[in-house]
Structure formats: C-alpha cells, structure tokens
Chain A
Amino acid sequence: MSLSLQILQHVPVNNYVLLAAMLFCIGVFGVLFRRNTIIVLMCVELMLNAVNLLMVAFSAMHNDPGGQIFVFFIMAVAAAEVSVGLAIMVLIYRNSGSVDIDLLNKLKG
C-alpha cells in the first residue's frame, strides 16, 4: 500500500495533466491522420481514455469518489458508442465495400 499511498506526493498532478493532454492530442492527430474508419473510432476511444485518466487523477487529488463514478459512466457510454459505431461500420462496408472515411461524403451539401 505504501507504493500507491503517496503517488501524488511523488508525482505532481501537473504531470498527469501533461500525460492526458499528450494522449488526447495523439487521439486528435490519429483522427485527422488515418482514413480507416475503424482506426478513427479507436482514436476516439484513446481521447476518451485520456479524459478518464485526468478525472481519476483529480479524484485522487481531491480525495473525492465522484470523479471515479464519472469515469464509470464514461466507460458505459463508450461501450454503447463502440457497439453502435461498429454496427454502422459493418453496414457501410456492406454497402460500399470499403471502410475509407473519405468515401463517406454523400451528405456534403
């Protein structure tokens, strides 16, 4: 227990903020960088996890379980989002024979 007891005494919260910012930016970068829709969805998951990590860090900082409860709800929403998103992706693949995100511009005005 003594290992995790003082993690925020050894590592400042700013380091966790930096780490979460980096993970979030990698997620944004991946969404812009890739054309495979499944990998874009994976990068969205990465961004969600960056926010989760930040929320757990602040929860430990303030000694408040509310932040961890919110992470719990975000996980539930992410699971629902992924299941519907992958179903949509299979439908797109069945209709157009590809998961290229640049082909999905039919709704463009």
Chain B
Amino acid sequence: MSNYLFYILSFLSIFSALMVVLSRKPVHSVLYLIFCFFTIAGHYILLNAQFLAAVHIIVYAGAIMVLFLFVIMLLNLNAETEPHKPLIIKGASVVTGGMLLVVLIATFKSAAMSVSSPEFNSDLGMVESLGKVLYDQYMLPFEVSALLFLSAMVGATMIGKKEI
C-alpha cells in the first residue's frame, strides 16, 4: 500500500513542479509551488522524518510562500505583463533540462543502493533523537546559522530601504 502512496505523491509532486514552470500567471505558479511542498512533506512523513515534515510545512508553506505571494501582489504581476523568452531559447531550455536528466539517470542507474542496516529505528525522525544530535554534534553550525539569520535580517532591511 505504501508504494502506491509513494507513486501517487511522486506523480503529484512532479506534475505540480512542472506547472510551476509552465503556468502563465505568477500567482498560479506560487500556488502550485505550495502544493509541491506539501507533497514533499508527504514524502518526508513516508520516510519516517516527522519532525522535518512539520518544519518543512511551517517554514516553506508558512513563511517563504507568504513572502513570495506578498511580493507578487505588491508588484502587481499578472499574465499580461509577464515577459516571455523567444521560442528558440525555450526549446533550448527544454533540451538542456532533458539532457541533464538523461545524464543524471544514466549516472545513478548503475549505482547499487540497498538498505544497509537491518535494524530499524522508527524514532529516528522524532524531535527527541534529532534534538540530541543537533545540540550535541552540530552545536557550532546551529549557532552559526543564528548569525546567518542576523546578517540576512540586516541585509534585507538595508536593501529594502527607500534610499541606501
């Protein structure tokens, strides 16, 4: 049953990712991107990473997408003002993306990957086990990411000002 769930979720995420690129109105692109992020959160739950699924929904669907929607509505973008590339560049981008996909598939096809460890820990993606690792082994990167957020905050405020 879970493999059907995987295939349905994969189909939905690939379809919505394609619609992000192909839909004409920018607002529709954002909505499809939100849907794509929800399907990816479904994949996380399927892979037993429950905490990450919750964080993914909060950060992406909650924060980043609101930011995107806000900017698109602030700039009043719609299908009429939407610039389009010439047809030859569109064809070239299709070919480039397809070739990259072919190369990646050919690379990974021969890679033999199997589940190595037979013992299974279903608490792996819970807050408790992740928190122990995060505050123990990855303490310094965690603090540095706080610094990154501070600099991003200062940078966004500086750039967003009327006159620099």
Given A49-B37, A99-B75: A43 in contact with B116 (beta carbons within 8 A): no
Give the CA-CA distance A99 to B82 in the complex, in Å: 9
User: Are B64 and A79 in contact (CB-based, < 8 A)?
Assistant: yes
User: Are B47 and A46 in contact (CB-based, < 8 A)?
Assistant: no
Give the CA-CA distance A109 to B159 in the complex, in Å: 25
Given A39-B21, A78-B64, A79-B64: A32 in contact with B97 (beta carbons within 8 A): yes
User: Are B155 and A87 in contact (CB-based, < 8 A)?
Assistant: yes
User: Are A68 and B68 in contact (CB-based, < 8 A)?
Assistant: no
User: Are A38 and B77 in contact (CB-based, < 8 A)?
Assistant: yes
Residue of A whose beta carbon sits closest to that of B93 = A32
User: Are B29 and A42 in contact (CB-based, < 8 A)?
Assistant: yes
User: Are A26 and B71 in contact (CB-based, < 8 A)?
Assistant: no
Give the CA-CA distance A47 to B37 in the complex, in Å: 12
Give the CA-CA distance A84 to B83 in the complex, in Å: 23
Q: Which residues of B contact A6 (CB under 8 A)?
A: 2, 120
Q: Which residues of B contact A73 (CB under 8 A)?
A: 138, 141, 145
Given A42-B20, A75-B55: A36 in contact with B83 (beta carbons within 8 A): yes
- Interface band, chain B: 35 or more
**Binary per-residue interface labels of chain A (64-83) against chain B in the complex, 1 for a CB within 8 Å, 0 otherwise:** 01101101110111111111
Give the CA-CA distance A78 to B130 in the complex, in Å: 20
User: Are A79 and B63 in contact (CB-based, < 8 A)?
Assistant: yes
Residue of A whose beta carbon sits closest to that of B81 = A98
Partner of A68, one of B52, B72, B74, B151: B52
Q: Which residues of B contact A33 (CB under 8 A)?
A: 21, 85, 90, 93-94, 97
User: Are A68 and B94 in contact (CB-based, < 8 A)?
Assistant: no
User: Are B48 and A60 in contact (CB-based, < 8 A)?
Assistant: yes
Q: Which A residues have a C-beta under 8 Å from some C-beta of B?
A: 1, 3-19, 21-30, 32-36, 38-39, 41-43, 45-46, 49, 52-53, 56-57, 59-63, 65-66, 68-69, 71-73, 75-84, 86-91, 93, 98-100, 102
